[in-house]
Structure 1
Amino acid sequence: MRITAARVIVTCPGRNFVTLKIETDQGLTGIGDATLNGREKAVVAYLEDHVIPCLIGQAADQIEHIWQYLYRGAYWRRGPVTMRAIAAVDVALWDIKAKAAGMPLYQLLGGRSRDRVMVYGHANGADIAETVDAVGRYIDMGYKAIRAQSGIPGIKDAYGVGRGTLHYEPADAALPSETTWDTAKALAHVPQLFEALRATYGFDHHLLHDAHHRYTPQEAASLARRLEDFRLFWLEDLTPAENQAAFRLIRQHSTTPLAVGEIFNTIWDAKQLIEEQLIDYIRTTVVGAGGITHLRRIADLASLYQIRTGCHGATDLSPVTMGAALHFDTWVPNFGIQEYMRHTPETDAVFPHDYHFEDGFLHVGDTPGHGVTIDETLAARYPYQPAFLPVAMLEDGTMWNW
């Protein structure tokens, strides 16, 4: 079975998505997600100019060879553009291979490790009271795990506080909007949020919080320690992880579980964190880390150190990645949790899928392949719209981590 054609489909049903569709001489097709939030067209050009010409004529069932060809053959390895392009090819080829076998994708990975996948949703509010109410709504919907973010007095547009209850998209303008940050105010406020949440709902539900790389290692250690009594499921992205050893300081001062990795591209980004057991959950995702082929390697390394997966699942990935991730989650032995930020009805219509939510869990379908398709006619009605992620600045104008 040979690859005869491949093309990129860009659509914006509320936000931009980049999809690669691969066709074969046996009539089977597969799709993969290549979305890079705020930098989508960089991946489009990489695919169209540098990847697709190399795919034509290749054996579609040689997934490992093609992965190595695109990774090693480029010489300039890694990086978000390269790895998202590779991910799109990889997922599309797994989709084709599973369709050829007449099986859902998880069967090709080795079969089920679980029947359903626990997910967490995003609850946020302008202040603590609104966030407490939002968490209650997620509990009423059946969620067992909820990420909680609150506006912080004195901080403009605090991270994670969106403009909707179920759907929000941070990439919000044709040029980057500006937000502000003040670490001292956040350190004083965040523990109050979780004190209120535990006082209201007790300890029957998992609570998570995303720090979005805002703290220095010392500040991160302080926050993690202050939150210990509230027994968080995890604290996410406490400090930038380019320096993986920075997590040693946090680990030395707190037992709060730590999660990181949604912006990682390869196993090398997490190697020290995993081998030194500096984290509890690895958040690398299918679209970010070169597809299922490479994510399996990261998960296998993590399993040696009793570190579990917690794959990124915000709306900056399409239902194609969510479908592939759920097949991965259903198989992977060291699964922890899956982020589930719901797409808009318009997005769901463009990307029909067979997974569904029920009582706090996502259930993967048994359609051959990864169970997600694209309605190209409908997709064409939503042309690309330039949209940047915001930037964050300290009150004195210093650029900070968004």
Structure 2
Amino acid sequence: MTEIIDYELYEVPPRWLFLRVETSDGTVGWGEPIVEGRAKTVRGAVEELLENYLLGQDPHRIEDHWQTMYRGGFYRGGPILMSAIAGIDQALWDIKGKHFGAPIYELLGGKARNRIRVYQWIGGDRPSEVGDAAAEKVDRGFTALKMNATSELRRVDNPAVIDNAVDRLREVRERVGPEIDIGVDFHGRVSKPMAKRLAKAMEPYDPMFIEEPVLPEHNDALPDIAAHTTIPIATGERMYSRWDFKEVFENGAVDVIQPDLSHAGGITEVKKIAAMAEAYDVALAPHCPLGPIALAACVHVDTIAPNALIQEQSLNIHYNETTDVLDYLADPHVFEYDDGFIDAPDGPGLGIDIDEGYLAEQAERTVNWHNPVWRRDDGSVTEW
């Protein structure tokens, strides 16, 4: 019997954690278990799961391993544990695909599409100069963009805040025209009353969706927000299992779900979340401001999910100041962007090859990324 015999973790810039799992027949699988800004905490969770449950075990019993890692702990769920499970799950699927000489999507039922559309980020945390950036991305072939709506806000803020956010969206819409989709990310920065006001004001410029209009702990407010706008509502990057998604499916307020393949239990769990979403006529657009392993995992689920809409990817995102998605790949052409789409990888497993020499070099660097702590003008902490 093939067994899991070893693993190694690499914390690398800009803010990622890569997992290498090796089996007794020499097969290597890769995963990306990370909570951005909490890499060392997730590292401990990955080590605990592998040491206690997986070393010496058959790597191909993926569903059983998932259930063991999840249900083997009396306390379960949440970003740390589910991200640790996610990265391990990705690596196990990579191993299984390599064992059978097939892409992961072939093991999940085969293609529902040949390629998936991607969107490109414009602007930064405090969005500015978005018009030129939007035009440049469209010139490069992207047909969908995403931008932050606002910087920090008061719980009830002044009309100028609304006007500034709408002006940025209007500028982008006027530069790119009506055939380009524009996602607007509220990033959980916006209170319920401000979310309603912003959504109403943005309607004339037809965003593709408004993302995370409120924090997930306030998902009970989504039906009220949805009742105030015709703009599709997207959420889910800070929801970690199918049980977290139950409420938003049942209340009917969400049109697009955005589970993260490195946070929401990996390929095994997000495939189930996508199937639940399909039953409620909800589209799938996986969250992925991460590295190449996470992106590859997303694309495999997109390829088999009939309700997949579009894929986030972090090429040139404002976090990636030192290293970028393609830098860690032996063959970066696997993620060539063609008319705003990427093809499903056709290699075995995840279909990517990590440049282990470059990875080892980058792992020697000090990585200590944490998101900023924002404060309002009165000194109180607010959402980033």
The normalised TM-score by structure 1 is 0.87
What is the aligned length? 372
Match of 1:100 in 2: 99
- What code does the residue aligned with 1:30 have? G
Secondary structure of 2:227's match? helix
Deviates more, 1:359-368 or 1:135-144: 359-368
Matched, 1:80 2:84: no
Q: 2:293 aligns with which of 314, 320, 328?
A: 320
CA offset at residue 271 of structure 1? 1.0
Match of 1:394 in 2: 376
Equivalent residues of 1:21, 1:32 under 8 A apart:
yes
Deviates more, 1:234-243 or 1:128-137: 128-137
Matched, 1:18 2:11: no
1:96-136 CA-partner distances (Å, limit 9, x unpaired)? 11111111111111111111111110111799882111100
Q: Are residues 122 and 5 of structure 1, via their aligned partners in 2, closer, same or farther at CA, if it must alter by over 3 Å?
A: same
CA distance in 2, matches of 1:44, 1:211: 30
Q: Are residues 56 and 355 of structure 1, via their aligned partners in 2, closer, same or farther at CA, if it must alter by over 3 Å?
A: same
Matched, 1:349 2:327: yes
Equivalent residues of 1:8, 1:48 under 8 A apart:
no
Matched, 1:276 2:258: no
Q: Are residues 18 and 276 of structure 1, via their aligned partners in 2, closer, same or farther at CA, if it must alter by over 3 Å?
A: same
Equivalent residues of 2:255, 2:283 under 8 A apart:
yes
CA distance in 2, matches of 1:86, 1:15: 22
Unpaired runs of 5+ residues, structure 2, are none
RMSD of the alignment, in Å?
2.0
CA distance in 2, matches of 1:336, 1:139: 19
Identity %: 31
Secondary structure of 1:9's match? strand
CA distance in 2, matches of 1:346, 1:306: 34
1:205-250 CA-partner distances (Å, limit 9, x unpaired)? 1011111111122211121111112111011111112132110110
Matched, 1:329 2:302: yes
Match of 1:65 in 2: 64
Equivalent residues of 2:30, 2:94 under 8 A apart:
yes
The normalised TM-score by structure 2 is 0.91
Q: Are residues 347 and 206 of structure 1, via their aligned partners in 2, closer, same or farther at CA, if it must alter by over 3 Å?
A: closer
Q: Are residues 3 and 356 of structure 1, via their aligned partners in 2, closer, same or farther at CA, if it must alter by over 3 Å?
A: farther
Matched, 1:113 2:86: no
Secondary structure of 2:361's match? coil
CA distance in 1, matches of 2:173, 2:30: 43
CA distance in 2, matches of 1:148, 1:123: 5
Match of 1:171 in 2: none
1:24-54 CA-partner distances (Å, limit 9, x unpaired)? 2222221111121111000111122343342
Equivalent residues of 2:314, 2:325 under 8 A apart:
no
Match of 2:240 in 1: 265
Match of 1:9 in 2: 9
- What code does the residue aligned with 1:211 have? F
Matched, 1:227 2:209: no
- What code does the residue aligned with 1:304 have? A
Match of 1:32 in 2: 31
CA distance in 2, matches of 1:125, 1:83: 28
Matched, 1:242 2:222: no
Equivalent residues of 1:87, 1:286 under 8 A apart:
yes
1:272-309 CA-partner distances (Å, limit 9, x unpaired)? 11122111110111111011111111111111111011
CA distance in 1, matches of 2:210, 2:287: 14
Match of 2:51 in 1: 52
CA distance in 2, matches of 1:66, 1:125: 39
Secondary structure of 2:17's match? strand
Matched, 1:362 2:342: yes
Equivalent residues of 1:181, 1:395 under 8 A apart:
no
Secondary structure of 1:124's match? coil
CA distance in 1, matches of 2:82, 2:127: 38
CA offset at residue 91 of structure 1? 0.8
Equivalent residues of 2:315, 2:325 under 8 A apart:
no
Match of 1:214 in 2: 189
Unpaired runs of 5+ residues, structure 1, are 153-157, 159-179
CA offset at residue 85 of structure 1? 0.9
CA distance in 2, matches of 1:129, 1:396: 24
Equivalent residues of 1:214, 1:401 under 8 A apart:
yes
Equivalent residues of 1:355, 1:371 under 8 A apart:
no
Q: Are residues 54 and 112 of structure 1, via their aligned partners in 2, closer, same or farther at CA, if it must alter by over 3 Å?
A: same
CA distance in 1, matches of 2:15, 2:50: 21
- What code does the residue aligned with 2:43 have? V
Q: Are residues 50 and 194 of structure 1, via their aligned partners in 2, closer, same or farther at CA, if it must alter by over 3 Å?
A: closer
Secondary structure of 1:333's match? coil
Equivalent residues of 1:267, 1:297 under 8 A apart:
yes
